[in-house]
Each structure stands twice: as structure tokens, then as C-alpha cells.
Structure 1
Amino acid sequence: MRICIIIAGGTITCAGKPLAPMPADRFAGAARQLLGPTLAATFPQLDLHFDDGLRFDSDSGLLDSTDLRPGDWCRIARRILTGYADHDAFVVLHGTDTMDYSAAALPFLLNVFDPLGLGRAVLSKPVILTGAQLPLFRETSDGLVLNAGGDGFANLSGALACAALRIPEVSLFFDGKLWRGSRAIKVSTTRFAAFDSPHFQPLAEAGIGVWLGHAAPLPGPADPRLALDDPSARAMATAQLDAVEASIEQHPVVELPATPADHSRQYPPLAAMIDAAVAQGARGVLLTGYGEGNLPAGGGGIEAALRRADDAGVTIMVGSRVIGGKVGTFNYAAGAWIAGTGAVGAGDMTPVAAFAKFSVLSAAANHNGWDRAGLRLLMQRNLAGECTGQDRLVDGAVLRPGMALKSACGGASLDNGPDGLVLRTGDGRPVWSLDRPGRLIMRDAPAFVAPDGAVLWQSDARLPGGVLILEGDTHPVLMLHDPAGRIAPLKVAPIRDRGARPGP
């Protein structure tokens, strides 16, 4: 297995006083000389290549992650795409200050999604970001030596061991745990356990050996033609990357926090910041509110600013400042007015993931033909495991009693209640139901199965490897989509004919 170790920068590559990233070729040479024999003995099945060719705008050519810009995500992604055909996995050495931002952005740069959030060019190999709280090497009068008291070697070797698991997604390895990249956040500047994931268990862990965690990894491409191994898929990803790189820093997304202030003023501070962001050319504004995404209403000044932003064509998303926060449907009186401004909720995405996803998708919108409404829906859909998906069942998934699907626009719902399955419009009106308890199982076609195993209903429409997606609001539609882009709508019978078997 051939693994490319991309040297991007960060504390793990630093030396000297004050600490600063050393030139990439010097770091790569030290790694080969001082670590090569040990790594070869530990991982005899791995062929390691230290890639020192990535360059950033700095004196050393490496990235001090404090100075990370969105365009730097594109540089890392391009390096991966350029070497994709020649390697089986990638380990990116990155600074910890913004490692979670890069780990959240890369899934949207290395995958291409259609308007429904289905992958059309899909990552098929591991991409693991890692780094260290202390440098990997120490400068002495005799040259560089291994910093035995640091965490760099353990993180590098752990990342390599996890790469051998071939989990096909972007992840982040630190202190023995492999986190989904779009779910991780930095939580400490002093502990070796610098990262955590509030809503998602580790994908894998390393200790005495390496083992898969409790969280299910992404499945990877549903068809070989969709994998980045295929030159056509890789060309599609490269074309999207070109478009993102050309625009991501010209029309940025701006994150603004809600903080205690006198919001009853006619022109409160947060409203002034929203107007300023719009005036400076922001493409989107991410507001980090309290609790479930609540924002102070005050005298209506913030609401007015959000409406002005919406009128100016700026997309607004509301997240939560709470580490384990989840934005609902703005139920509290303190935030119920938000829905009327055109803003959308970030669900259970971390603010880091929401910012990275928002930035990349906004920059890719014109290239991919997404209008503002389409962008809003994609921001609420689970594309690469960054949030809990509510609008679909994938192959092998089960909708159990007490669970529900909700369309991405937040309107229609398919509720699996204690008495059965009910499809409702956005205003709560039932349009179809199955009045016996059971579970909805998605395989080649959806089937509703009773507790005793009897099949109460099964669609006649079948698409191997299909995904069941709930769309719409006043007219909810259940649709099957397959990897080739084929669509099979499920025309369920009206509720007055609930005894009839729904047809395809």
C-alpha cells in the first residue's frame, strides 16, 4: 500500500526559537533519516512517500495554520487530486489551530454533489489529517533529533496505521483516535487529546493495535464510475476545484457571533456587523447563536438586517455556539422570528463544519448550477457525514419506530409513530399512512416490516443501490435515486384509500 505523506506545515514541522515551520525538504529529509528505519520495521506493508512539493505563501513555503486562508484548502485538495492515481492513501501534516477547518472543507472539495446531495465524483481513498501539540524534531548543536517527549511520532504512526484500514473519507487522527474530519473540533491547547467530536464517535482507535470504532464510516462510491480513481470523475472534481479556487476568497462567507449586548437599540451591534459583511461583498453569513440557534430579537433591528441581507442575495445560516449544539426549527420565542428572514439552520453541524461547508459550496454554486434555493437545501442535507441526515434512507438503513424523515426544506415529514407510518405535508396534513407499527427498511426498494417480520408494504419500484429521499412541502414526494442518476417516484395512495397498495 503506497501512502503519500503531504507536508503542509504546523507545529509538527517546527523547529528553532521561536518555533517556525522548517523548509519542507529539510523536514522530509529528517523524517527519512531519523524515522525511516523505524517506520519501515513497524509498517513493512506500507510504501511511504514524503511529499515536500506543496507550497504556501510564507518564508518557509509551509503553512502556519494560524494564517490559513480558504484558498489554502484548495492547494491541499489539488495536491491530493494530482497524486491520486499514484497512491492508495494520503496523510496530511497540518497545524492544529485550523486543522479542524481543513478537515471539514476537504470533503466538499474532493467530492462533487448533485442538487439532491448525491455524489457524482466520490472520494474512494483515505485522507487523514494529523499534526502535533509539540514539534516532531528538536534542534540541537548536532542537528535535528527526535523529540521524544512530544506527541508527533505517535500521531504520525497512528495516522499511518489507520490509513491501512482504507476508510474512504477525510478524517483527523489525534491522540489515538480517528475522527470524521467534518465532525471534529479542537478542544485543548495543552492536552495531547487536542480534538473531540461532540456528535460522532471515533471511526477507529489506535492502541495495542488498531481497530474500527463504533461509528460507521462513509460507504465510498456507489459505482466504480463515480470513484475518483476514474479519470472522468477526477476531472469533474478538478473542474469544480478550479472554480472554487477562483472565487472562494473573492466572495467570502463571514461568521458572526451573537453576544450579550443592548439589542433593543434601533441599530444593535450584531445588525451593524451583518450590514458591514454584506457591504464588504460577503456571499454568505453564518451566525452562531445561543442554544438551539436563538438570536436576540431586541427591537427588531437584527431581523431587519437579516431581511436586508436576504434581499441583497446573501445566504444566511444560523448555527449554535454550544459545542454539542443542534439547531432545530427555531421553536423558542427568542428565535421563532428567524425562519421568516430566509435563514436556514445548521442542524448539528459544528460551527467549524458549517463555515467550511458554507464557504466551499457557495464558491462552487455557479459552476454547479445551484441557485440560492438549491444552495440552502444542500446546506441542510447530509453530503459527507458532516451532519445528521434527515431527508433520506440509504441502502441498509432502517427507519425505526419513533424516528422520522423530514424534507430538506423542513416541510414534509414521514413519521414512524407508535401506530404506524404517516406521510404529512408541511402544515401537518396526513396524505398517506400505514396504520400498523413496524419499521421501514431500505434495500433495493423500501419495505415496511411488522414486528413479527411480515412485510406490510413494499414499493414496486426497485433501483439497486438506491437512496430513498423525501422531498417537497405542500406536496411531499418519496423518490428512489440510484448511483446512475435514475429516479423512480413512489406514488403513494391518498389517505382515503389507505388500504390500497401504493404503486411505483
Structure 2
Amino acid sequence: METNNSKVLLIYTGGTIGMIKDYQTGALRAFEFDNLYKRIPELSHLDCQISVHSFEKVIDSSDMNPRHWVAIAEVIEKEYTNYDGFVVLHGSDTMSYSASALSFMLEGLSKPVIFTGSQLPIGDLRTDAKENLITSIQLAALKEEGQSVIREVGLYFEYKLYRGNRTTKVNAERFQAFTSPNYPLLVESGVHLKVMKENLFKPKPHTILKVWKEFEQKVAILKMFPGITPQLLNAFFSIEGLKGVVLETYGSGNAPTDEWFLECLRKAIGKGIHIVNVTQCSGGSVIMGKYAASEALKTMGIIDGKDITTESAITKMMILLKKNISPNLFKIKFEESIVGEV
């Protein structure tokens, strides 16, 4: 596997990775990505050409929304034929949401789009930014027999490349900030890059990139907890215009069996609200009907989220709701894997 002659586009959206500490004042300021090779001379060993596209107004990842996802996707769409791979520099807080969204938006993707960021600024003494950035570029440039090795949206952090739509952020302080609870690693970085080829997504050959740009934002996430009341649930499902809900249930998809609770869900489904059952456990899968506590949900037609993450479920829902498909087809499409998210 080599990186020779690969062309990689860095897309800087914002986040800690783009900050540098001024040691005289102690203040953080924006890193000048135009001087990338001067700041990180190690990049010159990669044998690939690196270009940079910086967002004019950098985005704190807490402010990230579908409009920004479209802006990132449009850069990739515009430059798709000019580059072999893309690295998206992004704040870590909402990175799993963005990586999930882009995986669904970039229909027919056959090149690497690697999301990365850092817990410490790039100029910090003990920063994780340099390693994350260098290896992400290497992964985006990686080819075998002239073909990109990675052909999906990935997320690279602390020596590990994950499938983007399988990740979730689990730690605000450790360098190992992300995990992929239900899908194995794609690549592990040690003395050598260990590529787990059997885990990589294999797109259909000769696909053409099409970018989906519409999102239904009248959606919500509801986490179950012991003591949830009818008043709260009824008020929640009475939100005007609500189209879809990701319901975070217990264990393998279990929820209260009280009649008022089930009736509330039936009424919501009757109003045309799509409800997807995902587990609030960090790993594992929804298995509706395994226990009596989920049998009723299965019977009323609640969508089985299987082992999808909440981040992936909400972004998939936002996109599928804009496809104007029948409720039955929505359920079928949601329960099947589009880009390896289930």
C-alpha cells in the first residue's frame, strides 16, 4: 500500500485541532493551515499532495447543524474528481453526528472521507492533534493498485480508524474519546498501519457520487427513564409538526408495559409520527419481542433500530423523512443497512 501521487484535500471546519497556543500570552489563536508543511514538516514524508480548504467562519462543533453538513458535502462534491481523498477537521463534540450524516449524504461514495480532530490544540506540548492529522492524511491517501483502500466515511482518533456512522463520543478528557461499540475497527495505527480489509465497506463498482442535501428537522430524541409521566409523554408527542422520534429504550429495546404508555405511542403512530427503537446501552442491539416489555412495541409497528447508534439513527431519520416514501417503505429502509450503519 502506498500514498505516492495521491492528492488529499483537508477541509477545516473548526474545532480544537485548528487552534494553536501563543506561549507568550497563553491565548489560543487559529492555526494557519496555509503554512501546514512549515508547522508540521513530518507531512513532507507522506509523498502526497495536500491542499487546504478552510471555512471562512469556523464552527464550534456545538453549533454544528444540517446547513453545515451540506457545506462540507458541497466542498467534497465540487472537488471530488480532483482529489483521491478528503480529511475533515472537526470539533469532537458532534463529530459522530456529522460523520453519520455525511455517510448517508454522499451516495455512491468510493473515496475516503476521514473525520478527525483533537482533544488538545495543535501547538500544545502534549497534543494529540499532530498524530491524528498525519495519520488521517495518510489514510485518505492510501492506495492499492491505484485504487483507494478506504471507500467510506471514517472517523480517526487516537490510533484507530472507525466507521464514522458507528461511532459515539464517550470521553471528554481522554485522548481515546471515541468508541465503536457494535462494529470492529477498520484500521489500527501502530508501528505499521494494520488495515482490517474484511471490515471495510465495499461500495458497488463504478458508482457516481450524488449528494443528498435535504433534512427534516422536526425530529427528536426521547430517552426513557423510570418515573416518566403521562403528562410529559403526551406533551412531547403533541409538539406541533413532529415527524419522527428516536426512542432510547432500556436494554435490548424494552420499555414500560403500562397501558397509558403504550396508548400514547399508538396515538403518536396514528398521527403519522415515525418512532425508532434504539437501546440507550453503549453497546448491544435492540431485539424487539425478546421480552414481554418490547413485544407490544413490535406489535404496534415501532421501527427496529437494531444495533444503530443514536447519532446515526437521528441523521438517517432526518434524511429518510425527506425522501417522501410511504410509512411502510420508511420502516423497511430504516431497518436495512444503507452504508454499513446497521
TM-score (norm 2): 0.90
Residues 19 and 101 of structure 1: is their aligned pair in 2 closer, same or farther, counting only changes over 3 Å? farther
CA 1:262–1:67 in 2, change beyond 3 Å: closer, same or farther? closer
Partner of 2:233: 270
State the distance in 2 between where 1:331 and 1:350 align: 20
Q: What is the aligned partner in structure 1 of residue 182 from structure 2?
A: 199
| CA distance, structure 1, for counterparts of residue 282 and residue 135 of structure 2 | 26
Normalised by the size of structure 1, how large is the TM-score?
Answer: 0.62
The 3 A distance-change label for structure 1 pair 80 and 125 is same
Equivalent residues, number: 328
- State the distance in 1 between where 2:330 and 2:63 align: 28
Q: Is this contact kept in 2: 1:9–1:21, CA < 8 A?
A: no
2:7–2:141 CA contact under 8 A, matched in 1: no
1:254: which partner in 2?
220
Answering whether residue 9 of structure 2 is matched by residue 4 of structure 1, we say yes
Deviation, 1:218, is 1.1
**Residue 71 (str. 1) matches residue 67 (str. 2):** yes
The amino acid of 2:156's aligned partner reads: F
Query: What letter matches 2:132 in structure 1?
Result: N
Cross-structure match for 1:283: 243
Shift of 1:104: 1.0
- 1:42-88 CA-partner distances (Å, limit 9, x unpaired): 202x1000112x35xxxxx1110111112222221111111101111
Query: How far 1:15 sits from its partner (Å)?
Result: 4.6
Deviates more, 1:182-191 or 1:13-22: 13-22
Task: Please give the per-residue CA displacement for 1:297-354, whole angstroms capped at 9, x wherever unaligned.
Answer: 32x2222222222222211111000011311123312222112333111001111211
Query: Measured at CA, do residues 164 and 30 of structure 1 come closer, stay the same or move farther in structure 2, by a change above 3 Å?
Result: closer
Identity percentage over the alignment? 32
Give the unaligned 5+ runs of structure 2: 1-5, 143-147
Aligned positions of 1:115-194 closer than 5 A: 122-137=108-123, 147-165=124-142, 166=148, 167-194=150-177
Asked if structure 2 preserves the Cα contact closer than 8 Å seen for 1:268 and 1:302, the reply is no
Determine the C-alpha separation between the residues in 2 that align with 1:31 and 1:308. 56
Over 3 Å counting, the alpha-carbon distance change for 1:325 and 1:126 in structure 2 is same
Matching of residues 36-51 of structure 1 within 5 Å = 37-40=41-44, 42-44=45-47, 46-51=48-53
Q: Is the 8 A contact 1:258 1:288 kept in 2?
A: yes
After superposition, the Cα gap between the structure-2 partners of 1:19 and 1:355, relative to the gap in structure 1 and judged at 3 Å, is farther
Which amino acid in structure 2 is aligned with residue 308 of structure 1?
K
User: For 1:91, what is the secondary structure of its paired residue?
Assistant: strand
The higher-RCO structure (CA 8 Å, 6+ apart) is 2
- Residue equivalent to 2:145: none
1:438-477 alignment runs, 5 A limit: none
Q: What SS is found at the alignment partner of 2:51?
A: strand
Q: Is the 8 A contact 2:119 2:127 kept in 1?
A: yes
- Name 2:3's counterpart in structure 1: none
Q: 1:259 & 1:6 partners in 2: Cα distance?
A: 40
Provide closer, same or farther for how the CA distance between residues 338 and 271 of structure 1 changes in structure 2, counting only shifts above 3 A. Answer: farther
Counterparts of 1:211-250 in structure 2, within 5 Å, are: 211-213=194-196, 215-222=198-205, 224=206, 226-228=207-209, 237-238=210-211, 240-241=212-213, 244=214, 247-249=215-217
In structure 2, the residue corresponding to 1:178 is in which secondary structure? strand
1:216 Cα shift?
1.9
CA distance in 2, matches of 1:254, 1:9: 26
Q: Is the 8 A contact 1:123 1:221 kept in 2?
A: no
- In 1: Cα distance, 2:193 partner to 2:306 partner: 32
Structure (1 or 2) with the greater helix fraction: 2
Deviation above 6 Å: which 4+ runs of structure 1?
16-21
Q: Distance in 1 between matches of 2:156 and 2:89?
A: 10
Residue in 1 aligned with 2:309? 350
| CA distance 1:348–1:152, change in 2 (3 Å) | same
1:372-422 superposed Cα distances (whole Å, 9 cap, x missing partner): 2111111000110101xxxxxxxxxxxxxxxxxxxxxxxxxxxxxxxxxxx
Contact 1:108–1:361 (8 Å) recurs in 2: no
**Distance across 2 between alignment mates of 1:162 and 1:87:** 13
Residue type at the aligned position of 1:373: N
8 Å contact from structure 2 (residues 61, 95) kept in 1: yes
